[in-house]
Copies of this chain bind each other. A is one copy, B any other.
């Protein structure tokens, strides 16, 4: 499907855009089902939080209206919204009055092997570590060289995702997913106050678990603690949940709580 820039069909971007110059912007990757953006409120919430933290002036109402209209045209697929600080002049200083630029791109439904969700995946142990930057932690911003380097570490099809640690050796996230452990019936996911992207599916699963009486915990998870997990899974807002069956020498069965949450995630994506 054609791209839109600020609501108009376009196939090119101004060379002065600060998204290109500095990665000065944010993005959202949103599943679209039957013409509707899935988990729209959570995507919008994260994006607006990012705009606030980066002091990017985004026209909220126009952005939501464009998202909805674009999703209708796409009908089924994956929509990517990039928001940049707009054009810049020379130098890092942002113009306080600059208005954000909105870029919409559509792609077909993601074609992942069905086995990923059914049988689970193996995670590649990425050597690329995530740096600590509380000012950017949690945001889905456009500075993603760490993910590019991590994803370039493996080419085989055996590993569907990679696991990334921070500089202190804590488990943080997948390259394009969040990660959860289950131990003694508690749903545990890494604290993302230092680094990592606070995923929309992560937030929704935490909410759904709490609503249905499953205890949850957001905490630091040193790599050594992975071996004590009863179940492990990764998630994002496009594919839902993939059970993790192996990481390096560790392996896990696909457990009952993972299957239960997988059904929840699937229902959200197919709603």
Contacts and interface: CB of A to CB of B under 8 A. Distances in A.
Given A10-B15, A15-B3, A149-B54, A20 B92 contact: no
A61 interface: no
Contacts of A142: 20-23, 145
Interface centre among A11, A14, A93, A176 (most CB of B within 10 A): A93
A261 B267 CA distance: 67
Contacts of A91: 151, 176
Nearest to A94: B152
B132 A128 contact: no
Nearest to A25: B20
Q: How many copies does the complex hold?
A: 2
A90 B54 CA distance: 25
Nearest to A132: B131
A143 interface: yes
Contacts of A146: 133, 135-136
A110 B90 contact: yes
A129 B132 CA distance: 10
Interface in A137-183: 141-152, 155, 167, 175-176
A20 B19 contact: yes
27 contacts: A11-B14, A13-B17, A13-B20, A15-B103, A15-B105, A20-B82, A20-B84, A21-B82, A22-B142, A22-B144, A23-B144, A24-B145, A54-B145, A54-B148, A54-B149, A85-B148, A90-B107, A91-B151, A92-B144, A92-B147, A92-B176, A94-B151, A94-B152, A129-B133, A131-B131, A132-B167, A143-B145
